[in-house]
Amino acid sequence: MHTRSSSINGESIEPAFIDNGVPVFKPTMDQFQDFYKFNQLINKYGLESGIVRVIPPKEWVDSISSCYTKENLSKVNIKNPIVQQINRTGHGVFQQQNVERARKYNLEQWKELSRHYEPPKKRKRSHDEMMSNDTEYTVERCEELERAYWKSLTYSEPIYGADTEGSLFTNDINCWNVAKLPNILDLMEEQIPGVNNAYLYAGVWKATFAWHLEDQDLYSINYLHFGAPKQWYSIPQSQSEEFFNLMKDLFTDEYKNCSQFLRHKTFLVSPQYLKKKGITVNHTIHRQGEFIITYPYGYHAGFNYDYNLAESVNFAIPSWFDVADSTENCHCIPDAVNINVEQLRKKYKDYSNKVDLF
């Protein structure tokens, strides 16, 4: 990966370090303050690695502790979570079916439910005696669980509280509030849940998000409010075409039915399988109090290590307009996202000529 920086008026931000191909940023409060500008400054890194990880300054994390009041947490209402039926179609190749469960859960009930899906207990090194206390998600522990995940993927059906409308951020949080991030999608006339309206994601062990790109190849941001980490994988954009062609060969019928079949979020291939096929898989562990940002043409996938709650939304910066011109949408999903890009571009030009937009 190149390490030269993007810059605006001579300003630049570089990764603190690279974690298994994923640039990790640890901005100062001064750098972090302006979401729109920060994302333009780091853009070139994410457009190479597929995703980046951002560890926010401690003072920002401290400032949002007011969001986790009992009253605010009680508002989280997880509706119709999906039960994930995962079938092996080849060695390291899986297809997932998401079946809605017509139930509602508050956070307490979800936490209770997650106990039925707990990850395997850690084994003591000396012998097979199970450890009783297992709350530490060290890198080694996550690697152990990651191996267990890929070995036992088809043995049980995890449940995922995905796509729950709402936010845990309170209105008074103006900096990196996922529910109101200043960006080009603010100019849209309609509100689209999960696109320019935040979604909450309640995880349990093995709850999975299959390989996909965002709707209309937008950017996305995911903040892990609390709980166990998420495992993320991404494909560098330089290999996105190679990756797509491989998936097309593996899932030929699905591709014939819909050229945008990967937008269905139901196809899984293990990192080991991809590596054997010469495709680089970047990976990182996303922990509580951190952000993951995904980028156009950066295929990504992953799973949850246990009970957690994350919040996510799409966003766009000016460079997205070049991407949007060539994006293709899926036509077999009735509620597929379809943004009027020309209308948005015109609005952006009109506004940016008059004011400093964001």
Give the angle 206-268-147 at the CA atoms, nearest 5°.
50
Q: How far apart are CA 65 and CA 196, in angstroms?
A: 24
Cβ contact 321:341 at 8 Å:
yes
Tell me which of 105, 201, 233, 295 is the catalytic residue.
Answer: 201
Residues 6+ apart with CB under 8 A from 1: 18, 21, 23, 45, 48, 49
Cβ contact 279:241 at 8 Å:
no
Tell me which of 273, 295, 300, 305 is the catalytic residue.
Answer: 300
Cβ contact 201:312 at 8 Å:
yes
Cβ contact 142:230 at 8 Å:
no
Cβ contact 169:311 at 8 Å:
yes
Tell me which of 45, 48, 214, 225 is the catalytic residue.
Answer: 214
Tell me which of 157, 212, 259, 351 is the catalytic residue.
Answer: 212
Give the angle 323-315-1 at the CA atoms, nearest 5°.
60
User: Is there a catalytic annotation at residue 194?
Assistant: yes
Q: How far apart are CA 188 and CA 170, in angstroms?
A: 22
User: Is there a catalytic annotation at residue 219?
Assistant: no
Residues 6+ apart with CB under 8 A from 325: 341
User: Is there a catalytic annotation at residue 12?
Assistant: no
CB atoms within 10 A of CB 104: 13
Residue type, 214: E
Q: How would you classify the pairing of strands 308-315 and 219-227?
A: antiparallel
Sheet harboring 208-212: ordered strands across? Answer: 208-212, 300-304, 230-234, 282-286
User: Is there a catalytic annotation at residue 201?
Assistant: yes
User: Is there a catalytic annotation at residue 212?
Assistant: yes
List residues with catalytic annotation. 194, 201, 212, 214, 300, 312
